[in-house]
Structure 1
Amino acid sequence: MINIEEQARLKELEDAFNLFNQTSMQLTTSYDALQAQTAHLQKQLAESDQEKNQVADKLSRLLNLLPAGVIGLDKKNQIVEMNPSAQEILGADAVGRDWDVVIMNVFLSTNDAGELIRHDGSVYQLSETPADNDLNRTLLIQDVTSARHLQEHVNRHQRLQSMGEMAASLAHQIRTPLSSALLYVSQMNSKHLDEDKRERFVGKALNSLNHLEALVKDMLQYAKGGKGSEKEIVIDTLMASLEQGVEAQIHQSQSTIRFNAFIPGLVITGDKDALLTALQNLVGNAIDVVGRTAEIEVTVNKISDDKVDLVISDKGPGIESEHLEKIFEPFYTSRAKGTGLGLAVVRAIAEAHNGEIWVKSIVGYGTQFGLRLPLTSRKEIA
């Protein structure tokens, strides 16, 4: 008979065998599940690779068909890849060469907009994507010659249209003072005209002719574009010339003008006569608006190391806000004797000197006009 100890040992073996069978079944189930998951992942990976290949193929065909040139540069600034359009622009032998050397060989110069100009006059625009972690760069170069020609054609059309409008306005502006002058001159032929009336008619005719002269002068300055020379101008000298140039106007209108103290030796570059014309126009404008006994101040403010403001201030009636945006337009004037070109000339001169004209006005308190111009350097007064 089997004793108790053997029965216990058989029981333990039976339990161990059952546990082994259960573990084997669990491992088999887990292995089957793992195989199924692996197969699913392999299928997903294959689909992903297929999609990537399709995207890569589309990108490759797109780069080949793209009319713009795509250029890849490495961290040594050498061309490592180009699409067909880039090869057509730069030459297939550009791969492996230094980018700066290729630019010097293929292009003649650059224009003010930073565009590249070839020897045949064609224009190319260059743009760049930010560098990645490996300091690689991707450049895009495209032919914009047709676009530039179209823009030039549009600009020319706009200039011709503006010139037509300006000519029509000019004819209208000239007709009124010319008709007045002709009328007064014709009246002076009368035998029954006494000396007092004759002198009055002469004065009115002269006023009309002076108005015509001012109109033609402003028109010529506006057409000139505001700049005729490139010379260094010491602002001290410019202010002295302005004071002398407006002396007659100030005296005749019984006005006063004060030149505030400013930093001596400031220098700008440009056309002194044109800038003097602009400042005189601003002073004359203040006198015309205020009338007699105008109080005018001239201030020079250095606003930064490279900018200066030439400011003409008056204590006149000010300008309504709805007129501020129009006062620099050619032939816009609210005065019967105004040419409508004075402030347009000032703006043209300021822009020709790489500057700008600004205005601040409070109705009932006065107006400030400022010419903001770039400083050239600082000179010591001898």
Structure 2
Amino acid sequence: MEYELTILLVEDDADTRGNLQDILEIDGHQVLVAPSMAKARSVVADQQVGLILLDRHLPDGTADDFLRELQSLASNAEIIVITGYADMDSTIAAFREGAVDYILKPINADALRKSVARIAKRRQIEGELVREQQFADEILQTAEAVVLVLGLDGKIVRFNPYFERISGWSLSDCRGHDWFEVCLPTRERETIRQVFLDTKRDIDTSGSIHPILTRDGHQRQIRWSNATLKDDQAKTYAVLAVGVDVTDLLAAQERALRSERLATIGHTITGLAHESRNALQRIQAGLEMLQLDLDDRPEARRDVDSIQRATHDLNNLLEEVRNFAAPIHLQVESASLPEIWRRVWRHLAVSREGRDARLEECIAGEGCKMRVDVLRLEQVFRNLFENSLAATDDPVRIKIDCQRSDTDHVRILISDNGPGLNIEQREKVFEPFYTTKSTGTGLGMSIVARIIEAHHGTIRVIEPPETGGDSKRAGKAGAGGAVFELCLPLSLRSS
């Protein structure tokens, strides 16, 4: 017997009860007996039964009286009514009350066994389906991978808690909405829509890496495996996508590649700077000698001064590139972050002279005291302040919000009221040699990122609260200005 039922036999005739019990137990079922409805109530209160064989006429009532009550007491049980005689009305009434079969006495043993076997088989299939559903639900709830189901129209049917965790989107907010419009970056939508269409046509699209857009406007890189879901007629009714978040892996690979590039640049620049510095020193010495002969020629003197400034700029450029490529070794000490950024702001007094520029602070807790490399962090704040001053028209308002994000980190938000950053700028702002200025090396923000990483922290551009996601989706700079989020650990050792 593949599936054994626990059967309650409610029958007042002892001989009939014994015969039926023997027949059913031959097939491996467990049979409980009750001679009356009162006893049946007691049995179902203590036992989990899957099938009830109910004699229509009992000493304390009829099946018509007890069917509804039995269904309430044993809601998971099937009920077969047994009777010595039947009429159409009582049969219809029994089925209306939930009986699954109606058997006449004298009972045909084979007919009874087949009826019970059908119920047992159905119960077996239902049990397997329940277990499979529980297994699937457990996978959906616990899998450390994205599980996404889309309708053939591209609308969201379901995704699992892991996706909610990494994206910030909730299923209740997204169900029935267009996946491409809600959860994908604007520039990627058409490409990924084509992947979706290919998957619907059963073209293998697995292995590709496409980003998702988190609720706060950031991107997570996902490696997807895609398939179609089909019904019993092999007709596709949905698309299933399972994805692994490879954002951190790609970031680690990028850091390793950047380290290799930096090592190569450093090696090249070290030699170049050495040779160039010697040449620049000879040029400088020659210019100083030439100046002595040009006291009476002011126009020529101005040309020499111009050459000297160019020489000085070239020397600074070589030094900046050399410092960028060099390893960062931190000299850690206890310091107050507000004191560091206030000192930097004071040092920038000359560059903001005559301007309506103000630094606003919001400090929570104990003043954001921690262990850092003071000189390196001064460089971080200087770059951020200078960029805000350069990008923002008067009145300039730069705001710093410093607070504990948890027990181990300090979160610093630095924002301004300038034009903000567009999509390209947000994506490339920390890349070496990227700049939107007419002058400069484009290394400032890349150096900032390296300094923060050396502190085992993170820095990123976030969306201004005032603009939400509109400017991001439109690909325009945010009217709320640029906002940088720095997270630094409280405990840091010297390196």
TM-score relative to the length of structure 1: 0.45
Q: Which has the higher contact order (CA 8 A, sep 6+)?
A: 1
The structure with more helix, counted as a fraction of residues: 1
TM-score relative to the length of structure 2: 0.36
